[in-house]
Amino acid sequence: MNIPEPQIDAKLIDEMAKGYQAAQVLFTAVDYDIFTLLEQPKTAKVVSEEIGTDFELTNKFLNALVALKLLSETDGKYANTTLAGTYLVKDSPFYQGNLINMYGQSYNEWPKLGLALKGEPQKPGEMKNTFDKAFILSMAEANMRGPLHRLVKKIRDIPEFKTAKKLLDLGGGHGLHAIAFAQLNPNLKAVVFDLPPVVEVTKEFISQYEMEERVKVMAGDFDKDDFGNGYDVIFVSHSIFYHTKETIHEPLDKIYEALNEGGILISNHWMHDDGKNSSTLALWDLWLSTLGHPHNVYPAKDFVDLLKEKRFSDVRMLNISTSEDPSTIVIAKKEVQ
């Protein structure tokens, strides 16, 4: 036969091209809250009646969720798999619904990639809902599926953290990091600094974990406002250190001045060196660029050099990266004069 035969399987390309289909099934299921509905097994007929949809199409929809391993089916009744029960039921501590909805909203932006490649990205002002409650909840959900726990296990053994009395979670959003740090160190008091509408959501998490006495909030814009001083630890996660090379200097200077002598900065950010083969990092970087959002992802060496330039010393790195979360912890000390 003279017809050429491929020497490599096209499965990966096929999965990429068809990924939109599975994503739409998931987005729709979360929108209808199917998984909370199926905490107890139900037939397709019952499900269609409860959500007010066509029975025949609902039956096929549920079968698609079975094929995607989010539901199981026994004797005509559908039930959550362990995966869905853990992450897609609303009262689960690991619920991912807000994060999935955020991914769904980004589908409206990706078709603009072609225009962006021609030099027509969106204006930064067109980014919507960046700091609304749903966004903050989605960031909390992203942390609760593993990144928060990996980070905390590393930081609890840092000598300076063990003796710290006052910590600032700068741009702390939901405040889960500050809450976890205060739980680990009984002598620690923490402050979460973020924009006024954000800290209103932070207060809800602080109340949920009954940490009102030891975790407080401070409202402001870290690019413009003072965030206090006298801190033994300043923790920054996925915020300031994506600033461009032109805008990162001022916040770093402010952080240095706000630390006590001997205090430490702890940065938790994605970096190119450890995440250079990460599709998560590459796609996120491309997405922000498509939106026209000014940002920079630093190689670890460049970031370390920048910290040293800003008078920090004893710079250490802890790798906690996974394929889904290419994070690197960088610790830098303000020396005793």
pLDDT tens digit sequence for 270-318: 998 755 568 889 999 998 888 888 899 999 899 999 999 999 999 999 9
CATH number of 11-93: 1.10.10.10
Residues of the chain with CATH 1.10.10.10: 11-93
Map tokens 């005793």 to a residue. Answer: 336
Confidence at residue 16, expressed as pLDDT on a 0 to 100 scale: 92
Residues 6+ apart with CB under 8 A from 13: none
Residues 6+ apart with CB under 8 A from 196: 219, 220
- Mean pLDDT, rounded, of the chain: 93
In sign, the C-alpha dihedral spanning 174, 138, 258, 319 is positive
Pairwise CA distance, residues 141 & 99, whole Å: 6
138 with 103: CB under 8 angstroms?
no
Q: Which long-range contacts (CB under 8 A, 24 or more apart) does 298-305 make?
A: 298/241, 298/269, 298/271, 298/272, 299/271, 299/272, 299/273, 300/271, 300/272, 300/273, 300/274, 300/328, 300/330, 301/273, 303/241, 303/267, 303/269, 303/271, 303/330, 304/330
CATH number of 130-276+293-333: 3.40.50.150
Confidence at residue 316, expressed as pLDDT on a 0 to 100 scale: 95
Radius of gyration of the chain (CA): 23
Confidence at residue 274, expressed as pLDDT on a 0 to 100 scale: 55
Pairwise CA distance, residues 240 & 254, whole Å: 12
Q: Give the chain's residues under pLDDT 50.
A: 125-127
In sign, the C-alpha dihedral spanning 237, 243, 245, 250 is negative
148 with 177: CB under 8 angstroms?
yes
Return the H-helix or E-strand segment holding 83.
helix 82-87
pTM, rounded to two decimals: 0.92
- Tens-place pLDDT, residues 83-109: 999 999 999 999 999 999 999 988 888
Residues of the chain with CATH 3.40.50.150: 130-276+293-333
